[in-house]
Structure 1
Amino acid sequence: MSVPKRPALAVVGQPRLLAGLDVATRLDRVAHLTVHGPLPRLRLEEVIALAENIDLRGRGGAGFPFARKLKGVVEAAGRRGMAPHVVINGSEGEPSCLKDKELLLRTPHLVLDGALLAAEALGADRIAIGVTRTDVEKSVRDAVAEMPPGTRPIEVTYLPERFVTGEASALTRGIEGLPALPAGRKVRSTESGLAGAPTLFSNTETFTQLSVASRLGALSYRELGLPNEPGTVLLSVAGKFVVEAPVGTPLRDVLWLCGMPDPGQGVLIGGYHGRFIDADAAKETTLDRDALKRYDAVLAAGAVMPLPHGTCPVGETVKVARWMADQSANQCGPCALGLPSIAEALSRAASGGGLNALDAVRNRVLSVRKRGACSHPDGTANFVNSALNSFLTEFTDHAVGRGCGRPTVGSLAVPPEPIALPAATSDSGPKLLVDWTLCRGHGLCADVVPDVVRLGPDGYPDNATYNLPADSRNQAVRAIRRCPELALRLAN
């Protein structure tokens, strides 16, 4: 897998999480200790009090209070008589999200310190991190190898890179060696997470904030940000920049710092499960919970995506909807059927399918809400609904055949469609290809296209290339989407 181009780093004011990266591209153990100093040892009640005093919340999407997670783990571990575990979510399956990967690539010890602090306070048996890129995996493994003797061991697991991998049950299942797919049942990690034990599960930035706060103390930590939301926040801007800014910084200042003084047609806040705010709002709002709440928006995973004037908002929405449908876990109707149907209806409306096509989009959005096995259908539906409301005139014009004439330039950072490599055979016609470097022998492909794929005695497909009859193409596409390891491809 090719490694994407690295984003540029920028800071509003004084850096905390990105400290030291103005003179070094990566902080090894020695550089880390030089910049940040040693990690203090805190008792459990001190960690909880610190998290409460700085109102530390999850920086991966839901914004759940970290202190409540700690208390939940302690209560469940005591009630069940089990030692808890700690899991770092090091995945970012959304192309517009960059910040957590950069933390793990550039300052991994700051991340691991936060997990070690929490694990020591909880008396946790295991610390594990799931990552989805080979360069990130190497950086974390190098950091673990640099730890002094006697440090609690940290497990590093490489998982498939896709949107749903970061869901709590999917990541913990992947660490356990199972398919990295959501469990489909509403059980909190604090009650039953890794190996069924009470688990403190949080994302990379959250543990990094804890690491920084433990060194600064609550009073110094609160010197930046707002009284009711102190500290700094990391932002992934336009799929090209990672910015650290005090909470409450005007959005226009962040965009200006990234060379984008004009918010264009509006800004998507919170990534592909987020909301659009219009250009006027983007010029006025600040980046904090209360300000964004006025626009029904939240920072979530910290993605900020301006939509420039030169791109088609309808085309951009269709691209995201298609990609999100392809990233489905395919474990429930709203994901397996609902999201592709939304993307199909959007595409039809964008291509002049009439006002009835727009009505179909809205009906399909309503049909998936609150019915999924995880949050993926709801989040995608909310994104589509926000786009329809924000760009209603453009969608209406496209639906009745009066398209805007602008190209879709990919401003929302959706990756290009993969180019299928030709099969290593002289036979003509479409092929279904098996990537042996990814296949783990789940056998779902043979269930979906039994007339094409055959399993050998070891449970793996008995060939790497299968000729694909024309009437089996739709089944093959379904098999590709259902493969937990993303090991199937189409080639013509």
Structure 2
Amino acid sequence: MTEFRYLNPIRIGRGLDKLQRVDGATHRAIHGKFRQRRLRDLTAIAEAVHLRGRGGAAFPFARKLTAVMRTARTRDCQPVVLVNATEGEPASAKDKFLLAHTPHLILDGAMLAAKAMGAREVVIGLTDTGPAARSLRSAVLESGLRDFVRLVQLPERFVTGEGGALVNGVNGGPALPPGRKVRAADRGVDGLPTLLSNAETYAQLALVSQLGPDLYSAVGTAEEPGTVLLTVWGADGLPRVIEAPAGVPMAQVLDLGQATTGQGVLVGGYHGAWITPAAANRACVSRESIGRAGGALGAGVIMTLGEDVCPLGEVARVAAYLGAESAGQCGPCRLGLPAIARSLNSLVAGRSTTEALSAVSQGTQTVVGRGACKHPDGSARFVTSALSTFAADVKVHLAKGTCGRPVRGSLPIAEDLIAMETAEAEETGLRMTVDWTRCAGHGLCKHLVPELIQLDEHGFPVISNAGVPRRLVGDARQAIEMCPALALRLGDSAAETRHAVKASR
């Protein structure tokens, strides 16, 4: 069970200092009777406190409300309210904590928006199948909202929480980002204009409505009023959900979460950025302050790495996970992220370190801004900030091949996905070869399977001596089929070796 801690005043976690879960009756006793608000009033209070999305993008909530209603009026249709409770980020625990312990705040916020907009329904997308899901279902029943609130179970994946992926999943398709950007405000659930935000955002909306803008803004900063929910990982490897007023020193939050700055601090999760211990000690918990320190508050994840682990090895492990989490719909995700992870692993293992570092730098520059969603951009930010923050460790690996410290798995990931990636990297015993009597140097093969084939200075293929891993067999066969000269072959590597030995005798 995730532990909850707070810095006064406690807002979103009221009641949790004494109870494990705030049920419907207790919620009403603490937060008062649900009061419906008109759309213009709800928009005004959200704007007054600068309420922004708490899922990572930090988009102004009032602008979302306005955009959805503009589209609904233009099309003369009812909008939909969509709550993103998937929390695919493995390092984040705050939204699932809300679902499990104070779900009625989420429902209140969603219903405030739904009533104000005249929405058709509230849809909540979630991946949890345990206590959080059971708590939410109970809250829906306790509130008498079973006929208006629909829960949709989605697969537990990093990319499930991306807005387009969530909408696709709710609509019955694969929970993957669409190939082109479509705003949920224009076309979301069932093609209707949809107000999409994450679970904490709706809980904060309920608090703003209950407290009023002035009291809500009595804590926090002028630009970021109120409190924030954070997932802080302690030195003991356990996450703690912490509620703190915006603007408190990060050092204070780390101390409350039983964490130290260690070798570096990751802020914002696996699409966030690493910052140095010195920068972390200067920073406060706000988007502005963390941005100045070189990070991004994002989904409110704060993690550190102790002195006893190899930071590059820990980062490479997560990079492999992010590569395995690719939606597989565009080159930057399908090819770029796994290639970056492999180059990072080569750097960690001391194999061709200079070339590996160059490949990581080039790869991260190549994928940014070219993906069908923001997964390549966020993953690249995670890696490049690590190279900067852990520059001293990079130098040691370049000079000695290893820093001598172990990889302990300090950063949480979905292990089954890494196991899948490992299985796909297994050798198949196959090897690509070229029939030089046919090859005309068209160069198409290099673009079809760049992990196995490069081109020499004359444009002819240079094929890796390594065998073809399982994950590349399909690409290798496609390259063979598409070769204009029919010059490529895929054969047994052991047989090829025996043939080469016989030919040399």
TM-score by length of 2: 0.81
* 2:474 matches 1:474: no
In the alignment, which of 331, 334, 351 is matched to residue 333 of structure 1? 331
What SS class does the counterpart of residue 150 from structure 2 fall into? strand
What SS class does the counterpart of residue 229 from structure 1 fall into? coil
Equivalent residues in 2 for 1:199-348 (5 A)? 199-238=194-233, 240-260=239-259, 262-348=260-346
For the Cα contact (< 8 Å) 1:236–1:302, is it kept in 2?
A: yes
* TM-aligned CA deviation for residue 418 of structure 1: 6.3
Partner residue of 2:84?
Answer: 89
Greater helix share, 1 or 2? Answer: 2
Distance of 2:135 and 2:473 partners within structure 1: 37
For the Cα contact (< 8 Å) 1:137–1:158, is it kept in 2?
A: no
Partner residue of 2:406?
Answer: 407
Matched letter for residue 140 of structure 1: L
* TM-aligned CA deviation for residue 393 of structure 1: 2.3
Matched letter for residue 83 of structure 1: Q
Partner residue of 2:479?
Answer: none
* 2:94 matches 1:99: yes
- 1:122-178 CA-to-partner distances (Å, cap 9, x unmatched) read 0011210110010222221111111137x7610001110011000111111111111
In the alignment, which of 13, 21, 30 is matched to residue 26 of structure 1? 21
Equivalent residues in 2 for 1:55-70 (5 A)? 55-70=50-65
Partner residue of 1:354?
Answer: 353
Partner residue of 1:140?
Answer: 136
* TM-aligned CA deviation for residue 253 of structure 1: 0.5
- 1:422-449 CA-to-partner distances (Å, cap 9, x unmatched) read xxxxxxx99xxxxxxxxxxxxxxxxxxx
What SS class does the counterpart of residue 304 from structure 1 fall into? strand
Distance of 1:419 and 1:379 partners within structure 2: 19
- 1:213-241 CA-to-partner distances (Å, cap 9, x unmatched) read 11000111011101221000000111511
User: Residues 291 and 418 from structure 1, CA distance in 2 versus in 1: closer, same or farther, beyond 3 angstroms?
Assistant: closer
Partner residue of 2:495?
Answer: none
Distance of 1:138 and 1:477 partners within structure 2: 42
User: Residues 219 and 362 from structure 1, CA distance in 2 versus in 1: closer, same or farther, beyond 3 angstroms?
Assistant: same
- 1:32-79 CA-to-partner distances (Å, cap 9, x unmatched) read 112211121110000000001111000001100000000001111111
* TM-aligned CA deviation for residue 367 of structure 1: 1.2
Of 223-232 and 30-39, deviating more is 30-39
CA RMSD of aligned residues (A): 2.0
Unaligned 5+ runs, structure 2: 421-426, 429-466, 476-505
- 1:299-324 CA-to-partner distances (Å, cap 9, x unmatched) read 11000011111111101110110010
* TM-aligned CA deviation for residue 417 of structure 1: 5.0
Of 61-70 and 234-243, deviating more is 234-243
For the Cα contact (< 8 Å) 1:270–1:298, is it kept in 2?
A: yes
* TM-aligned CA deviation for residue 406 of structure 1: 1.2
Distance of 1:192 and 1:330 partners within structure 2: 23
* TM-aligned CA deviation for residue 400 of structure 1: 3.7
* TM-aligned CA deviation for residue 196 of structure 1: 1.2
Partner residue of 2:41?
Answer: 46
What SS class does the counterpart of residue 181 from structure 2 fall into? coil
Distance of 2:224 and 2:296 partners within structure 1: 13
Distance of 2:134 and 2:329 partners within structure 1: 31
In the alignment, which of 144, 159, 162 is matched to residue 164 of structure 1? 159
Distance of 2:372 and 2:244 partners within structure 1: 35
* TM-aligned CA deviation for residue 191 of structure 1: 1.1
Unaligned 5+ runs, structure 1: 1-5, 422-428, 431-469, 479-492
For the Cα contact (< 8 Å) 1:231–1:246, is it kept in 2?
A: yes
* TM-aligned CA deviation for residue 378 of structure 1: 0.7
User: Residues 420 and 328 from structure 1, CA distance in 2 versus in 1: closer, same or farther, beyond 3 angstroms?
Assistant: closer
Matched letter for residue 296 of structure 1: G
- 1:245-270 CA-to-partner distances (Å, cap 9, x unmatched) read 0000100001111222x311111010
For the Cα contact (< 8 Å) 1:86–1:199, is it kept in 2?
A: yes
Partner residue of 1:440?
Answer: none
* TM-aligned CA deviation for residue 477 of structure 1: 9.8
How many residue pairs match? The answer is 425
Matched letter for residue 365 of structure 2: L
TM-score by length of 1: 0.83
Partner residue of 2:447?
Answer: none
- 1:81-100 CA-to-partner distances (Å, cap 9, x unmatched) read 22111100001111110000
- 1:423-479 CA-to-partner distances (Å, cap 9, x unmatched) read xxxxxx99xxxxxxxxxxxxxxxxxxxxxxxxxxxxxxxxxxxxxxx978335899x
Aligned identity (percent) is 45
* 2:7 matches 1:8: no
What SS class does the counterpart of residue 102 from structure 1 fall into? helix
